[in-house]
A and B are shown apart, each in its own frame.
Chain A
Amino acid sequence: MKEFKYVITDPEGIHARPAGELVKAAKEFAANITLTKDGKSGDCKRIFGIMGLAVKAGNEITLTFDGEDEEAAYAAVTEFVKANL
């Protein structure tokens, strides 16, 4: 399992659109990818789960990657997060 911590810098937070793009990126992989904020978690492959966390700018999130292709998932998803969130 791999873990990644990140503080959201996008002033809008994870709005509908970035949530959708995050889901798109996560769905490329078989690994379970979970986003956690303040103890609450959402499945990165489910847009309602991610939007339901209402992640705002300045919030710290933790992404966990668990599964066969977790290395590749980690690389791709963290790159997306750093560039867009």
Chain B
Amino acid sequence: MEVYQGKSVFGGIAIGRISVHKKDEQQVKRVRIEDPEQEILRYRQAKQTAMEQLQGLYQKALKEVGEANAAIFEIHQMMLEDDDYNESVENIIRMQQVNAEYAVASTGDNFAQMFSAMDDDYMRARSADVKDISERVLSVLGGRATGIAASGEPVIIVADDLAPSETVQLNKDLVLSFVTVHGSVNSHTAILARTMSIPALIGTAIPLTDDIDGKVGIVDGKNGCIYVDPDEDTLGRMQQLKLEEQEKKELLQTLKGRENITIDGKKIMLYANIGNSKDLAAVLQNDAGGIGLFRSEFIYLERDTFPTEEEQFQIYRTVAETMAGKPVIIRTLDIGADKKCDYFEMEPEENPAMGCRAIRICLTRPEIFKTQLRALFRASAFGNISIMYPMIISVDELRKIKTIVAEIRQELTEQGVTFGEPKQGIMIETPAAVMMSEELAKEVDFFSIGTNDLTQYTLAIDRQNPKLDAFYDPHHPAVLRMIQMVVENAHKAGIWAGICGELGADTTLTRRFLAMGVDELSMSPGSILPVRKIILETDVTKERENNNLC
């Protein structure tokens, strides 16, 4: 048995025979030709055939792996039509009086090197695309077919690296895993493996020799290694692990599309927390019913100057449109405490967690607040947006917010700008807001409990200080009673109350929250299906009987 270490790009276990894939070494010879114009014509015809092949691959990929993954073949077509590329090939043929194969190979190398030298991981990975289109044209010129030979049984494909055109031609049912010697986490093999949800390794120090071809292999995507010719013990152990993993996965997958409803019919909303529009794919994959917390401060933190109204509008609009009518709750900027932003030019504070942060910045510097509110109101004409204000401690603050909101609504109306009417709610994350929740509930459309800050303020324990871990109890009855109180006061006023802090994803508390009558839980996308599982298994009526609350 041999073990080779690589870098895992997708977890899971694959067991099967190894198929070593070697690229046809396209030895390109430099040949002097008599009629360059005739040779250029030959190149143009080959390019045309390559374009048609790419169009075919695009259609095939569209059906099999979806638009996002198919787009690469559209890009390849554009690259092949690029004037710089074509002028380079034709110039080499004309000036050096050489064959088209040599001109294509040199041009491909030059452009690939340009990308390899770039100071950007994504762009560096694109040199593989340039090589791929060049090899395609070379194949056409040489009359050879590209692609991986089809085999009858599902295999683990081991290769130096795989080009997108090679992976798309694979019969997906016959691939258990990809293992490559080169490649990056941004490479198409990696992206494809994630889309297909199969284990894959890159940067693996495995020899591409004929004697491993056909041997049994085990890819362990969790530990990033491949076993070749495993012994009985290893094989048995991995088979068992694979089985357990499979069961777990199937179980969670069966929960997709299911309602979040308890045995006795109580429904609860399960939403996702996100920091930017990049997280949307995970939100949809995990079947979130909406976005319960969009931390808008990340738009501010990722840059060096204030984001403009237009920039914010575009981001909020994209998120709202992507969620297609599902609720998107956007929290206004929560800068301060541990989230610092230099261009806000805040004065240093003795105690930032209790300092000028979140809504306090917005109310002292209304020009910043108004820009964000205008963007939010405009974007809400394009989807189901709600606005949520953080760090509230009093009804008076809400009145001030309402005055500012009224001002921007009037401005937008006067300027003839289209805007929607978002629902407006608040975060409950200070003990003051809990104690005032009866009054606050009459002023807003919803409550969302931020348990991280609420716990730190209630227990007077700084969560950044590891020395206090011994005193810190995330399930402290004081916090749970506060949640109970907030939910009761919300319901009394006819509004809903949810939880968007870390406790929302805590499956040991899900039953208790259901018993309390919590209406919504918002969490990182990956936690949604495990929490849904608990909900489906819970009987709230029984839970209430068994549980003397808090």
The residues of A with any CB-CB pair to B shorter than 8 Å are: 7, 9, 11-12, 15-17, 20, 23-24, 43, 45-49, 51-52, 54, 56-58, 82-83
Contacts and interface: CB of A to CB of B under 8 A. Distances in A.
Interface in B62-83: 71-72, 74-75, 78-79, 82-83
A11 B311 CA distance: 11
A48 B85 contact: yes
Given A11-B277, A52-B118, 7 more contacts: A7-B308, A7-B311, A16-B75, A17-B75, A54-B120, A58-B303, A82-B310
Contacts of B314: 9, 82-83
B123 interface: yes
10 contacts: A9-B314, A9-B315, A11-B278, A16-B126, A16-B129, A47-B82, A52-B114, A54-B119, A58-B302, A82-B314
B55 to A, nearest CB: 14
B461 to A, nearest CB: 35
Interface residues of B, number: 32
Q: Which of A12, A48, A49, A52 has the most CB of B within 10 A?
A: A48
A51 B116 CA distance: 12
A11 B276 contact: yes
- Pick the 7 closest A-B CB pairs, nearest first: A20-B78, A54-B120, A9-B311, A16-B75, A47-B78, A20-B75, A47-B82
B79 A48 contact: yes
Contact of B304 (A12, A48, A58): A58
B302 A48 contact: no
A58 B71 CA distance: 25
Contacts of A11: 276-278, 302
B78 A23 contact: yes
Interface string B144-160: 00000000000000000
Contacts of B111: 48
Interface of B: 71-72, 74-75, 78-79, 82-85, 111, 114-115, 118-120, 122-123, 126, 129, 276-278, 302-304, 307-308, 310-311, 314-315
Contacts of B114: 48, 52
A24 B74 CA distance: 11
Contacts of A23: 78
Given A7-B311, A46-B82, A51 B123 contact: yes
A13 to B, nearest CB: 8
B280 to A, nearest CB: 11
Nearest to B317: A83
| Prevailing SS type, chain B contact patch | helix
B82 A54 contact: no
A56 B84 contact: no
A59 B83 CA distance: 26
B126 A51 contact: yes
A73 to B, nearest CB: 17
A46 B84 contact: yes
Nearest to A16: B75
Contacts of A82: 310, 314
B379 to A, nearest CB: 13
A12 B121 CA distance: 12
A34 B226 CA distance: 49
Contact of B74 (A20, A48, A57): A20
Contacts of B84: 46, 48-49
Contacts of A43: 83
A24 B129 CA distance: 19
B118 A54 contact: yes
Q: Which of A11, A51, A54, A58 has the most CB of B within 10 A?
A: A51
B75 A54 contact: no
Contacts of B78: 20, 23-24, 47
B118 A57 contact: no
Contacts of A47: 75, 78-79, 82
Contacts of A49: 84
Contacts of B123: 51, 54
A51 to B, nearest CB: 7
Contact of A57 (B79, B122, B126, B302): B302
A2 to B, nearest CB: 19
B148 to A, nearest CB: 24
Given A52-B114, A56-B120, A46 B126 contact: no
B132 to A, nearest CB: 12
B303 A45 contact: no
Nearest to B68: A17
A52 B122 CA distance: 12
A56 B119 CA distance: 11
Contacts of B129: 16
A49 to B, nearest CB: 6
Contact of A17 (B71, B115, B118, B308): B71
Contacts of B315: 9
A56 B302 CA distance: 12
A52 B119 CA distance: 10
Contact of A48 (B82, B119, B278): B82
B83 A46 contact: yes
Contacts of B115: 51
